[in-house]
Structure 1
Amino acid sequence: MDQQKWYKNPEMIVALSALLIGLVTAFTSIYSAYIDREYSRASVWPRLEIFRSHNHDSFSYTIKNNGTGPALIHDAKVLNGTTYIKYWQEIPQFKSFVQSHISNRTLSPQNTISPLVYNGEHAKEFKMADESIQIELCYCSIYDECWVVDRNNQPTPIEYCEVNEAQKFLQ
């Protein structure tokens, strides 16, 4: 009586084939879930940009969400020279302007916030003061992926938004 090798046994061939098909299916499912998760993140990725506009009689700062999802703005920092400020009024040249709150807001895709707008004959003073102003925002996506962006408009990924209370801009 001849004994067959174990790997030539028909039941073993069927079992190994089923195992291989199961492993391929599991790998495909895991990879598909990973791709779906990445697609979901990309479909709601916020991207904030900070810019200023000015001409001879107007000056403004604007923040725009050029991403595909809402930006949850947690904190802002505004540095005037070497001093962190809490309010626009702390800048001596900034007088008689319209303002909007920046921190703790949700900015929908393709929408803007204008945290400071000035129209009048002193726009040149605003532009000159602007040379010493740095603005930094910390924002997150709905998946709690967070970034910090400044006026260079190059978002830097961070783990979470945390700002020192002494540096926090309150407007």
Structure 2
Amino acid sequence: MENLKWYRNPEMIVALSALFIGLVTAFTSMYSAYVDREYARASVWPKVEIFRSFSGNSFSYRVTNSGTGPALIKYAKVQNGSDYIKSWTEISTFKNIRQSHIGSITLSPQSSSIPVSYEGENAGILAKTDKHISIELCYCSIYEECWVVDRRNQPENVEACTIDDEQRFLQ
């Protein structure tokens, strides 16, 4: 009887082929699961934008989610110059305005919220005050990926939305 080397034995060749096919299948499955997770995250990706609107007798700020998934707004920071404010009425020119809550809402995809608006002859005064106002929002996706955005509308990734209570905008 002839002694075959272990790697020339037909049973060993079949076993090694099965092992190789199993490894390729495992790696293909892991890559496919990775792609599926990335696709799921991208399909619910929020993109929050902040902008001002001013024309004639109308002034407002608008927050829009132009992404594909809901934006869970965790906090808002609003500064007038170097002072953090808790509500719009702390700004002397922002009297007699309509306002809505922005600090902890959920914005659906392709929807907007108007945190402050004014219609009347003093809209120009509000527009002049606007150059001293800074707004920052921190928002997360449903997968708890979080971003901070300000009026430049260039979101920055953050680990989590954390804020000092003295800086938190309450409306």
Mark yes or no: TM-score above 0.5: yes
Indicate the percent of aligned positions where both proteins have the same amino acid: 64
Note if 1:160 corresponds to 2:160: yes
Aligned twin of 2:121: 121
How far off its partner does 1:158 sit?
Answer: 0.4
Alpha-carbon distance between aligned partners in 2 of 1:163 and 1:80, rounded to the nearest angstrom:
17
How far off its partner does 1:77 sit?
Answer: 0.0
Alpha-carbon distance between aligned partners in 1 of 2:52 and 2:20, rounded to the nearest angstrom:
60
How far off its partner does 1:3 sit?
Answer: 1.2
Instruction: Tell me the C-alpha RMSD between the 2 structures.
Output: 0.6
Aligned twin of 1:110: 110
Structure 1 unaligned residues grouped into runs of 5+: none
Alpha-carbon distance between aligned partners in 1 of 2:14 and 2:41, rounded to the nearest angstrom:
41
Matched letter for residue 70 of structure 2: P
Alpha-carbon distance between aligned partners in 2 of 1:164 and 1:56, rounded to the nearest angstrom:
37
Alpha-carbon distance between aligned partners in 2 of 1:61 and 1:79, rounded to the nearest angstrom:
14
Aligned twin of 2:150: 150
Alpha-carbon distance between aligned partners in 1 of 2:156 and 2:138, rounded to the nearest angstrom:
9
SS at match of 2:92: coil
The alignment of Structure 1 onto Structure 2 pairs a total of residues equal to 171
Aligned twin of 2:70: 70
Alpha-carbon distance between aligned partners in 2 of 1:67 and 1:56, rounded to the nearest angstrom:
30
CA displacement, residues 66-113 of structure 1 (integer Å, 9 cap, x when unaligned): 000000001000011000000000101111110010011110000000
How far off its partner does 1:2 sit?
Answer: 2.8
Note if 1:81 corresponds to 2:81: yes
How far off its partner does 1:18 sit?
Answer: 0.5
TM-score between both structures, scaled by the size of structure 1: 0.99
Q: Which runs of 4+ in 1 moved over 6 A?
A: none
Structure 2 unaligned residues grouped into runs of 5+: none
